[in-house]
Amino acid sequence: MDMTERVNELIFICERMIEILNKENEALEAQTPHVLMETMVEKDKMSRLYERHTRAVSQNAAELKKVDEDLQTHLKEVSREMDKLVEINARMLKLHMDLNRRVLERFADVAQKLTPHSGTYNAAANVGVKAEATAPISLNESL
C-alpha cells in the first residue's frame, strides 16, 4: 500500500475513533450503558486497525517523510486529539469500574451479614458471624 494512502486511512481511523470516544465519554457521563455496548465492538475494530497502520508507518519512516507535509501535520493533530480523548476515556472507565466494584463489595458485605449461621462457637466464645470461620470440633475420649 502506498504511504499516502496509509496515512489517509490512518487519519480516517483517528477521526472515527474521535467520534466513538466522544460518544462513549458522553454515555459514561450520562450513565447510559446501552450506548457503551454499541460503541464497544466498533472501538475494538478501529483500535486494531489503528495499531496495524501505525506499526506499518513506523516501520517505513523514510517513506513517511515523502508524504505531503500538510497531510503529516493533519495526522499529528488528529492523533493528539485522539490521545487526549483516550486518556479521558480511560480515566472515566476506571472511575466507573471502581465505583461498581465498591457497590458490589457493599452488597456482598450486607449479604454475608444477613446470612444465617449455624451458631458454632469459636475460641473467643463468639457465635454466628464472628465464628463463621471456625468448624465445630468434638473430642472422642474413647480413642
Instruction: Judge whether residue 110 has pLDDT over 50.
Output: yes
Q: What's the mean pLDDT when you consider all of the chain? A: 83
Q: What percent of the chain has pLDDT over 70?
A: 79
Sign of the Cα torsion 51, 56, 60, 65 reads negative
pLDDT interval class at 116 (50, 70, 90): low
**CA trace torsion 71, 76, 82, 87 (10° rounding):** 170
CATH domain 3-118+125-130 topology? Methane Monooxygenase Hydroxylase; Chain G, domain 1 (1.20.58)
Q: Which grid cell is 113?
A: 451479614
pLDDT attached to residue 131: 46
Length of the chain: 143
Q: Which residue has the higher pLDDT, 132 or 37?
A: 37
Whole-model pTM: value is 0.70
Can you tell me the distance from the alpha carbon of 90 to that of 101, in angstroms, rounded to the nearest whole number?
16
For residue range 121-139, list pLDDT tens digits in order. 556 666 555 445 545 555 5
pLDDT tens profile 92-102: 989 988 988 99
DSSP labels for 9-57? Answer: HHHHHHHHHHHHHHHHHHHHHHT-HHHHHHHHHHHHHHHHHHHHHHHHH
